[in-house]
Structures are given as C-alpha cells and as structure tokens.
Amino acid sequence: MAVGGEAPITVQSMTTTKTHDVDATLAQVYGLHGAGADIVRITCNSVEAAEGLAEIVPRSPVPIIADIHFQYRLALAALEAGVAGLRLNPGNIRKPEHIRAVARAARDHAVPIRVGVNAGSLDKDLLDKYGSPVPEALVESALQEIRLLEDEGFDQIKISVKHSNVPRMVASYRLLSEKVDYPLHLGVTEAGPLPGGLIKSVAGIASLLLDGIGDTIRFSLTTDPVEEAKSGRKLLEYLGLRERKGLDLIACPSCGRAEVDVYRVAQDAQEALENEKLPIQVAVMGCVVNGPGEAREADIGIAAGRGRGHLFIKGQVVRVVPEDEMVDALLDEARKLVAEGVEARLAAAEAGADEEAKKEAALLRDLQGDANESAERRAAVAEVAKAE
C-alpha cells in the first residue's frame, strides 16, 4: 500500500488485542479492513508478540505496521516477521546506536519507518528546552530522529507529530510540512471517547487535509477501533479524497413545517441502508415543499407530506407511498437505483407522481408559507408595520 506522493490518502487503525493471541488479533484486523482501514498497526511489545506477527502478517488482508516502543530488538524481530512497516517513538528509543541499527535492518528489508512523535512521551531534553510539548519541540524531535535514519542511507520515512491539543496538533503539522517532504501521518493523539474524541479528530485532521497536508490518517478514539476505521473512511469520502464506498445520508434538521418525525425516519433509514452497503447519497427531508429541491443533488431521497412520502431521484419525484412505508420504499428504490442506474429509475417513475408532489407542496405552501420567499414577506410585513 503506497503512502505519499500521488497515492490516495489512507486510513489506519490499531488493534487492541494481545498480539500473541493470533486468532483474536486477526479477527480484529479483518473487522478493521471491512470497516475501511487500509493499514493496521499492531503492538510488538514482547517476544511472544513478535512471534505472533510471524503468523498474522501472511494471513492479513492489509499491510501490518509493528508498533515499537522501548526495545529496539523487537523492531528487528518484527522485520524478520515480515511486517510492512515500523513505527518508532523517538521519546522511547533514545540511544542513537539502537535507532541506527533499526534503520540499517529496515533498509535491508526495504521496509518504511514512521517516526511517531507524541506530545505525551517527548524526550526529556526537549521538554526542558521548550518547557512544554509545543509544536517546535515536536518538530525538533522528529527532525533529530530523521537525521539518524538518513545517516544510515535510509529515506523510506513517514512522520507524525501527534498532540492531544487540537490547535497545537495542527500547528505542529503545518510547521513540519514546511521543513520536510516526507509523507505525514495525521492524528490527534488520545482524542478520547465519543463524541468529543470524534469532534477533536475531525477538527484537527480535516483542517490539515483541506490545506493539502497529510497522506495517511488515524482517529485515536477510546472506543472499538472499528469505529476509528469507519470514521476515518467517512471523513475522506466527505472531503472528496476517496471514492464513496458506503452510505452518505443527509437529512434536514427538522422544523415546524416537518410532516413526520424526521429524527426517527432518518435513524431508521440509516440503519436499513447501512446494512446494504450502498455507495449512494440519500436524503431524508421533513416536508415536500422544499425537500426535493433542496436535496436535488442527492442520488435518492424521500420527503414527507400529509401522511405520505414522496420518493425522489435527483430531485424528481418518482413514487408516492404511505407514510408508514417510507423507509421500506426508500430501501427498495435504493437497491434498484444501484442495480439499474439513475436514468432507468427515472424512466420507471410512476405516472403523475411528480405532479402530485407539486400539488401537495403548493397546498402546504399556501397553508404555511414558503421559507424561500421570506424576503418578499419581510418587505410586506415592514410595509404594514410602517404604515401611518
């Protein structure tokens, strides 16, 4: 799996099992792969873990990165086990001769190394120099480690400068990107449980990706790592950095105009459609007045109106169904859309469905007004209010 250059931005996650438990670890690797992980990191913190890697690597569906902390010889053992990459923490392996030994072995095996700087384990000398893990300290740590690797003729390097503080994390990567051309692995370390951990991760990682910084990402969440992979994959899809492989459900936030419980319908639709793994954008809209028009870019959607659901494709209503059948109809039509294509499904639209939806919208507009004509109504209100 290529990282950097013109290669697609990749999603990573990390197993939480004991590496020596080969079957449990492989089960988690396969789960992560199924959730969207392109690369999986596995801890190598003992001889038994290194031995486990020897069995895991050839059975894995994705490249395996060995996570090395204090014992450099375990990095050598992981290379012998056939891993696709190493992650070294400069704050934990401190002796230059040990780092050089790993660099030589990685060079001989043609295996890349990620220099994984972490604010929580920064070298004491750098903490003394800067007083705290500021961006300059993290970047200097990375550059020191890189020089040791380069001295051994090794340049297959990736770098991360992770921080649990989002502004400092972003500043660290921006500073680092000005100093090196190596691929960068993005992440907010120790982001925490949902929802806060997810918000922090998105804030930091998306900010950098939108600036064109970053080649591979990991959401470090305190939850099932499958959620990390799912979230990372969805972020890349939402940013247009990876092709959509799963569902993208959009829904209006609901308002007084809504004719159904939008929250419930959206949740039911999400559950039903996610199980299908359909790579489409689906809209759930609370009313037919503005729904089809506002969500016309969605592949398919449904909008409510006085006890009925108006099913639309690319903004054109193709079916009208009873309210209690909205989700089932949406699922049925979504399957057909993926199988047959947009043009075929538009051609199969029920006669009069679009006109019926327009009449329904007009009736509701007369009863409730049109939010899209608020400027005209404001002017009329002001005229009345200011009259002598």
Give residue-wise pLDDT tens across range 91-150: 888 899 999 999 999 999 999 999 999 999 998 999 999 999 999 999 999 999 999 999
- Statement to judge: residues 205 and 268 lie in one domain: no
- Statement to judge: residues 32 and 121 lie in one domain: yes
- pTM to 2 decimals? 0.85
How confident is the model over 340-356, as a mean pLDDT?
89
Residue 245 has pLDDT above 90, yes or no: no
Indicate the pLDDT class of residue 176, thresholds 50, 70 and 90: very high
How confident is the model over 244-271, as a mean pLDDT?
82
- Statement to judge: residues 233 and 273 lie in one domain: no
**Residue 64, both tokens:** 């395996």
Q: Could you tell me the CATH number of the domain that includes residue 334?
A: 3.30.413.10
Domain boundary (238, 261, 288) is at: 238
- Statement to judge: residues 98 and 185 lie in one domain: yes
Tell me: the pLDDT tens digits for 202-225?
A: 999 999 999 999 999 999 999 999
Please indicate whether residue 359 or residue 278 has the higher confidence score (pLDDT): 278
Residue 7 has pLDDT above 60, yes or no: yes
* Secondary structure class of 249 (helix, strand, coil): strand
Please indicate whether residue 359 or residue 28 has the higher confidence score (pLDDT): 28
Quickly list DSSP for 303-348.
EEETTEEEEEETTEEEEEEEGGGHHHHHHHHHHHHHHH-HHHHHHT
How confident is the model over 315-331, as a mean pLDDT?
91
Domain boundary (238, 262, 292) is at: 238
The torsion angles phi and psi of 253, rounded to 5 degrees, stand at -75, 0
Question: So what's the pLDDT on residue 202?
Answer: 98
Domain count, the chain: 2
Domain range for 163 is 10-238
User: Rounded distance, CA 8 to CA 263, Å?
Assistant: 35
Q: Which stretch of 167-181, 265-279, 350-364 has the lowest confidence by average pLDDT? A: 350-364
Q: Is the peptide bond before 253 cis (omega within 30 degrees of 0)?
A: no
Residue 70 lies in a domain: yes
User: Rounded distance, CA 298 to CA 88, Å?
Assistant: 44
Residue 378 lies in a domain: no
- Cβ-based neighbours of 209, under 8 Å, separated by 6 or more: 9, 186, 217, 235, 236, 239, 241
